[in-house]
Structures are given as structure tokens and as C-alpha cells.
A and B are shown apart, each in its own frame.
Chain A
Amino acid sequence: MDAAKEAAQPTPASPEAEAAHKPAPNMPQFTRDEDLHAYHEMLLIRRFEEKAGQLYGMGLIGGFCHLYIGQEAVVVGMQMAAEEGDQVITGYRDHGHMLACGMDPKGVMAELTGRRGGYSRGKGGSMHMFSREKQFFGGHGIVGAQVSLGTGLGFADAYRKNGKVSLTYMGDGAANQGQVYESFNMAALWKLPVVYVIENNRYAMGTSVARASAQTDFSKRGLSFGIPGESVDGMDVRTVREAAGRAIEHARSGQGPFILEMQTYRYRGHSMSDPAKYRTKDEVSKMRDEHDPIEMVRKRLLELHGVPEAEIKATDAKVREIVNASAEFATNDPEPDPSELWTDILLEARA
């Protein structure tokens, strides 16, 4: 074991804890700081989404609102492996991706409530937010369309030879769209630096993977194009980051696209109006109790890294404060000026 890896090994708080957290062979480990970071990031998404659900119930958020609760480890682990300047694009379940990209929770929440301080000045809503600064390209409401767009981001990277990678997310439902395979073909043909992240949360709206997919192993969906793929435990932020590191390196080094199937789970319904008749309550609670991505890290922090509970509670409080401030802002920020109706339709041509 080299020095760097040795240094990365956590110091167990007790022999029992070491046994309880004994990694499976090759299971990647996080340092104390990495686990603290992951905990903070995932908790921020969780609390933000819970608050969004609450505001939706109060009628402050309209239309569609798709929550990311349960899937936090995917985007947080991916971002821990990404470099600054790598682009991110996803579908409509996108709040978590924005926060993980470093977008301001106030701007995201204010967009959800349709206020002028929202990222899209209130014109996009839950499914349509963007940040050029953070290289977050949306936020797309047509299932699967973001896959071709993300491939285009990779095309631009290759065209510019800038060494960046496009992280293109889709769900298990989107993975059945035709343009996904058109995109795979071009990405493989032109060796574009794209990592396709298929977030398999088991249900496309109410249709289970088994009822919609002839090939349920999504890591194999690029086989006929020669695109390598991996299935990853998407509930464990460590395995996510580990696989993401390999996939991103593959893409960045000019070897072309890579597919990561993230096996994950959404706790909430597809959208706010989902009665969830297609799965049992037991299934949901089993995932929550046994595989919760945040709880796993929390336990590691306490038991493996020996982080004092007070420190974790301080993080909890800090996250809650950020989220409350975003809700406060999003509730009090005024609606867009009526004149905004007519702006941002076309850009002025420069002479």
C-alpha cells in the first residue's frame, strides 16, 4: 500500500466500529473530511427537497416538482470525482444536481416558487434551471432530450480540446428513448468525452424497470456501440465516487464515452401527485432503513471517524439554516416584473 492510500485510510474509533465498517474487498474508503463533505452535500439536498415538498404543499410551488430524496449519493459522489469546468446536464429531477454543482439554494428555491430571484428569473421553474458559471446546463423536461444535448456538450469539449468531460444524467425511463442510442452511437464513433449516468431508481414514473426494459442491466446499454459500462451501488457515495473517477478518467483521456448505471431509489413519488400504488410501503421503508445514503455516512462519521455528535449536529443545524434561508427568500422575493414576459425570447444580434 502506498503512502497516499495509507493516509486515506480512516482511523477507526474502536475495534467494534472497525468490524462494523469493515469494507468489502476493494470497497473504496473515504477520509474523515471526504465523509464530512459528502454528508454535508447530501444532507443539503435532502433537507432542501423536504422543504420544497413542504412549500409545494403550501401552494407556494406550482406545477411539477420532482424530488431527489433517496438518490443523493449519486450526484454528490459524481461531483466529488469531477473537475471544475466539467459540464453537468440532466432531466427534470434536477434540484439535487444544481445544489451539488454549487448553485445557490436561494436561487433554486426562488425559481421553484416562480420569483424574480430564481435562476431563470421565474421563467423556468423546477425543471428548467441553468448556470453557465457552474457549467450546469439544465434541467430539461423532455425525457431523454438531455442525452443528445449532453453529447453535444461533449462534442464541444472535443472540438475545443479543452480536456473537459460532459456528465450526462438520465433515468431508467429515459434510457429507453431512441435518441439515447443515437447519441451513444455518435459519442462512441467520435470518442466524445461523455459519461452517461443512468440513475436507475427502479421506476419510470409508475412503471418498474422490469415492465419497461428488455435489458434491465443498464450498464450493458452501450455494448453494441462498444461503450464500456459499470453497475454501481448508487446508495453508497464511496462506490459512486470510485466508479465516477474511473469513468471520467476514461472519457477525459480520449477513450470515448462511459456508462454508469447507478442503482438507486427514490423515496418519494415520481412527482408530488404520485399515489405510489405501484410499490409497497415495505419496499420503501426497507430502503430507507437499510440503505439510506446519508445515514450510512452519518454512522461512519460517528463510529469510524470518531466525529463528535455535536459536530454532526452543528452540520445539521447549518444545513437547516441554509435551507430555511432559501425558503424565506423564495417566499418573500417578488414575482417577476410583468415586463419580463417579453424578455429573453431572442438575443440581440451583435453587429
Chain B
Amino acid sequence: MATDILMPALSPTMEEGKLAKWLKKVGDPVKSGDVLAEIETDKATMEVEAIDEGVLAKILVEEGTEGVAVNTPIAVIAEEGEDVEAAAAAGGKGAPKANGQDQDGQGAPTPDMQAEGQAKAPAPAAKTGEDAPRAPAAPAKISNTAQAPVMDEFPADTPMTTMTVREALRDAMAEEMRRDGDVFVMGEEVAEYQGAYKVTQGLLQEFGARRVVDTPITEHGFAGVGVGAALAGLKPIVEFMTFNFAMQAIDQIINSAAKTLYMSGGQLGCPIVFRGPNGAAARVAAQHSHDYAAWYSNVPGLKVIAPYTASDAKGLLKAAIRDPNPVIFLENEILYGQSFPVPQLDDFVLPIGKARVHRPGTDVTIVSFAIGMTYALKAAQALAEQGIEAEVIDLRTLRPMDTDTVVESVKKTGRCVTVEEGFPQSGVGAEIVARLMVDAFDYLDAPVLRITGKDVPMPYAANLEKLALPTVAEVVEAARSVCYK
């Protein structure tokens, strides 16, 4: 019986990859452990090993093909003694469909095919497979080109280049390290491994081991070392492999980094950036999925940034590195691979503490940040089809929070829905609600509603995980509800 070889996933969040090279050709005998092919994503190259024995009967995806969706059949192996021709003919049919749709349309947002101003349409094969549990979170590929000039953050005629959030973060660090010899990066696997998520790719080669420092697995210790170096006047960028691991280090972040300036009567600043992926990725369960946005945003003495687009990631990380205060820079693993237009400017720095109107609208304000924006934007699109124009605000910075932009929008719409993946109690949404009660009470025509992650530790099972996260449908429903529709 013929066996299909499927495109493997290199990580929980991988959706597609490039079939870089076939190392076996049709007719070659194959045994378990043989390397069949090499595949690449934007962060890694891996070998595909055979687990079955037989003969390579047919290659279904030629080498050099990009955007091959996970689980797509890429080759057929005939069992020993089996007719290779027949096997080749039979193969490639039993595999999961590569182009399945998110059946209920209610799950995490799927790639947005109607994105405006999008630099590069995703290959059809890159669409979410139906058995990819959390419709790999999705990255609404909605660009910010249309709105950005409105914000006046760069000239409207600035040439744009498309890059992933990962590349934008890398470039931000590289540019700041070129600019200032006191800036260095430390963390687990940031140097020789090139970053656990490849965010620090190439930095070791350019800046050397003095400035790109691999640490032991010792979060509490290296966070303290970073803070100490910052108190001495250096400008460390401390990468946590995930902010979940920063819980080991949170004492140094809060008690040492955030409070020393105040406790020293203004003498001792702490110019440090703590950065890394925050919140849920996909199928990594409760200890690797926590969204700490609300935690850090609670603490005076910190600045907290949580960008959505690559352009914001770049401009705000550069600002964070230059800032003389401790900055928590919350990234998102799922967003790392998403592409956005980024202005081609020599020195693109954005102001910390300014929200951005990502999508103008008149009927309801949807406030979100980071990956929450994917739900907000998908919902806005769905609402538009129903005749409701939502204004979507990307907070970008959570502390200091730009209340004014939200209030101005609510004065116009009279209605507001907040969206975040974090827990409901004492969450970022709760804070926005409280501020609107004080600053926009007379303008509200309906109670402000919050869409959040569910009040449970993140489950592992695909269906439960999906239930634990917010959905586009929930956002749509909430927005309709505050519009009394």
C-alpha cells in the first residue's frame, strides 16, 4: 500500500514552508531514517526523514516550491514489492485537504484575503487546513498602509518594504546596536542558535559575542544581571524565550527595574528592554500561553508595549531601546511570521504611548492590541458587510495608555468593545472600561463590552483551546449588541 509523505510542521505555529530540496529521487529505495528532503521556513531549515520503508514512487511537490501548506502530500512511497507505478497513481489522495476552510467561521481569524494595500497575497496553499486546530492564528494580513499616513508618523510618499514582524524586530535591534555601543542583547539562545524564534538572527555575526550574549537557562539570574548592567549605565535588551519564563524573573523586573528610579529619588535610571513572545501560540498549553499584558501594565515605573504590525514593532522597539526607562516589549509568536509594509527610512522611530486608529469607522469603537487586532480587524470586516462601520484602535502601548485616542473615538461612536486574549478579571479591557466610565460616560450609548480569553488556564486539546480564546464571532456579536442590532 502506498504511503503519502506529508509536509511536516517544524513548530506549533508553522503553517507553510518551502520545499527547498529533494535528496532522494523517484525510484530510490528508502528506509526509515533516510533524509528525503529539506524544507525551509522563514526561521529555520529542517530535514524531512522517512519513517516508512519502500521506494520513492512519486514526487508531488517539486523542489523550490514555496508556500507548501503543512500536511500537503509531497511524495508517495511504495511498499517493498508494490508496483511503483500503481502506488504513484494511488498516492496523494488520502491526505487532508490543504485548502480547507474554517468550517464554522467562528474560530480564530483566518488569513484575510481581502486585505487592503497588502504587499503580497498569500499563496493559496498557505490557507489554513481544516485540521489545523487553531486556524493558525491568523494573522489577518491587513496592512496599515491606508491608515498610517493619517497618523502622520511618516510621509505618505515613503517607499514601503514588506517584512515580517520577526525581521522588523531584528532590524530594530541591529540598527540600535549600530547606533549605540552600550546596547547589547542577552538571553537564552540569542547568539549561536540565532534566537529560539530567530528574532536575533544574524546579530552574533554582525556584533560578536561581547554584545550578543548567550545566557545559561537562568531567567531570574540573567534578568538581575541585565538590570544591574542597566543601573551601571549600559542598555541591555533582555530576551525571554517566552514571557511565561519571565515569571522566574519578575522580582527583578518589578522590584529592581521598575522601582529603583523612584526609590533613589531620581538618581538611578534603568534603561533596559525586556522582550520576547507573550501570550498564546498554538497548542502549547497553560504554562506557555499566558498573556501578561495586564500584569506589567499594572506597574508604575514600567512602560509596556505590545505591537501588532511589523512597522509598529520596528518603530516602537527602536524607541524602547532608546528609552531611559525599563520597557516591557510584548511580542507574539504567531505574529512573528506575518508580513506587513514597513517604511523604508534610515531611522524610523515611533512615539511610545500613542494609539493608532487602524481602521476608521463611525458606528462602534473596537479597541485592541497585539494579536487581539486580528480578531478586531476580521470582525470589523464582517460588521462592514452588515452595514456597521467599526473604528478599530490599536493601543500599541499599554503603559502609558493613550486614553485620549480611545475617548475621542468613543465620543464619535458612542459605543465600545475591547478585545484581548488575556483573562477578563483586571484585564486591559477592564482598565479601558474604567477609563471610559470616567472620561466618556456622557458619550456612551451602551455599556462597554469586553471580549477576552476565557477565565480558565489554557487547555491543550485543539477544540478546548479554540474555545478558550476569543473569536471573531464574539467580537461581531458584542459590537452588534452595543449597537442594539
Task: List residues of B (220-240) whose CB comes within 8 Å of A's CBs.
Answer: 220-234
Contacts of B300 in A (CB 8 A): 345
Partner of B252, one of A87, A121, A145: A145
Indicate whether A349 reaches chain B with its CB closer than 8 angstroms. Answer: yes
Task: List residues of A (120-167) whose CB comes within 8 Å of B's CBs.
Answer: 120-124, 128-132, 137-142, 145, 147-157, 159-160
Contact assessment for A149 and B324 in the assembled complex, using a CB-CB cutoff below 8 Å? no
Partner of B265, one of A120, A152, A159, A183: A120
Indicate whether A189 reaches chain B with its CB closer than 8 angstroms. Answer: yes
Indicate whether B286 reaches chain A with its CB closer than 8 angstroms. Answer: no
Indicate whether A344 reaches chain B with its CB closer than 8 angstroms. Answer: yes
Indicate whether B218 reaches chain A with its CB closer than 8 angstroms. Answer: yes
Which of B59-67, B266-274, B434-442 lies at the interface? Answer: B266-274
Contacts of A122 in B (CB 8 A): 265
Which of B33-41, B101-109, B256-264 lies at the interface? Answer: B256-264
Partner of B229, one of A139, A159, A348: A159
Contacts of A349 in B (CB 8 A): 319, 322-325, 352
Contact assessment for A152 and B262 in the assembled complex, using a CB-CB cutoff below 8 Å? no
Contact assessment for A140 and B221 in the assembled complex, using a CB-CB cutoff below 8 Å? no
Contact assessment for A344 and B225 in the assembled complex, using a CB-CB cutoff below 8 Å? no
| Centre residue among B218, B232, B255 by max chain A CB count within 10 A | B232
* Complex-state Cα separation, A137 to B352, whole angstroms: 28
Task: List residues of A (241-282) whose CB comes within 8 Å of B's CBs.
Answer: none
* Complex-state Cα separation, A148 to B228, whole angstroms: 7
Q: How many residues of B contact A (CB 8 A)?
A: 43
Task: List residues of B (294-327) whose CB comes within 8 Å of A's CBs.
Answer: 300-301, 303, 319, 322-325
B325 and chain A: residue at smallest CB distance: A346
Indicate whether B216 reaches chain A with its CB closer than 8 angstroms. Answer: yes
Contact assessment for B228 and A138 in the assembled complex, using a CB-CB cutoff below 8 Å? no
Contact assessment for A145 and B256 in the assembled complex, using a CB-CB cutoff below 8 Å? yes
Contact assessment for B224 and A128 in the assembled complex, using a CB-CB cutoff below 8 Å? no
Contacts A87-B232, A179-B224, A346-B303 given; does A138 touch B216 at CB 8 Å: no
Question: In whole Å, how far is A325's beta carbon from the nearest beta carbon of chain B?
Answer: 21
Indicate whether A185 reaches chain B with its CB closer than 8 angstroms. Answer: yes
Contact assessment for A186 and B215 in the assembled complex, using a CB-CB cutoff below 8 Å? yes
* Complex-state Cα separation, A118 to B265, whole angstroms: 9
Contacts of A151 in B (CB 8 A): 221, 224-225, 228
Contact assessment for A155 and B228 in the assembled complex, using a CB-CB cutoff below 8 Å? yes
* Complex-state Cα separation, A321 to B255, whole angstroms: 37
Contacts A123-B262, A145-B255 given; does A152 touch B230 at CB 8 Å: yes
* Complex-state Cα separation, A160 to B234, whole angstroms: 9
Contact assessment for A137 and B231 in the assembled complex, using a CB-CB cutoff below 8 Å? yes
Contact assessment for A148 and B220 in the assembled complex, using a CB-CB cutoff below 8 Å? yes
Contact assessment for A343 and B266 in the assembled complex, using a CB-CB cutoff below 8 Å? yes
* Complex-state Cα separation, A308 to B228, whole angstroms: 46
Contact with B along A282-293 (1 / 0, CB 8 A): 000000000000
Contact assessment for B234 and A121 in the assembled complex, using a CB-CB cutoff below 8 Å? no
Contacts A123-B265, A149-B256, A151-B228 given; does A159 touch B216 at CB 8 Å: no
Contact assessment for A182 and B263 in the assembled complex, using a CB-CB cutoff below 8 Å? no
Contact with B along A90-127 (1 / 0, CB 8 A): 00000000000000000000000000001111111000
| Centre residue among B225, B255, B261, B266 by max chain A CB count within 10 A | B225
Question: In whole Å, how far is A243's beta carbon from the nearest beta carbon of chain B?
Answer: 24
Indicate whether A59 reaches chain B with its CB closer than 8 angstroms. Answer: no
25 A–B contacts from the bound complex (CB under 8 Å): A122-B265, A128-B260, A132-B268, A137-B228, A149-B224, A149-B252, A150-B228, A151-B224, A152-B228, A152-B230, A152-B232, A153-B231, A156-B233, A157-B232, A159-B184, A159-B229, A179-B221, A182-B224, A186-B221, A186-B225, A344-B262, A345-B301, A346-B301, A346-B325, A347-B324
Listed in ascending order, the chain B residues whose CB lies under 8 Å from chain A are 184, 210, 215-216, 218, 220-234, 251-252, 255-256, 260-269, 300-301, 303, 319, 322-325, 352
Given contacts A87-B232, A142-B251, A345-B300, list 8 more A-B pairs with CB under 8 A.
Answer: A89-B228, A123-B265, A142-B255, A149-B252, A156-B232, A159-B184, A185-B218, A189-B216
Listed in ascending order, the chain A residues whose CB lies under 8 Å from chain B are 87, 89, 118-124, 128-132, 137-142, 145, 147-157, 159-160, 178-179, 182-183, 185-186, 189, 343-350
- Which 10 pairs of residues, A with B, have the shortest CB-CB distance? A152-B228, A148-B224, A182-B221, A121-B265, A156-B232, A149-B228, A120-B265, A344-B266, A128-B263, A347-B324
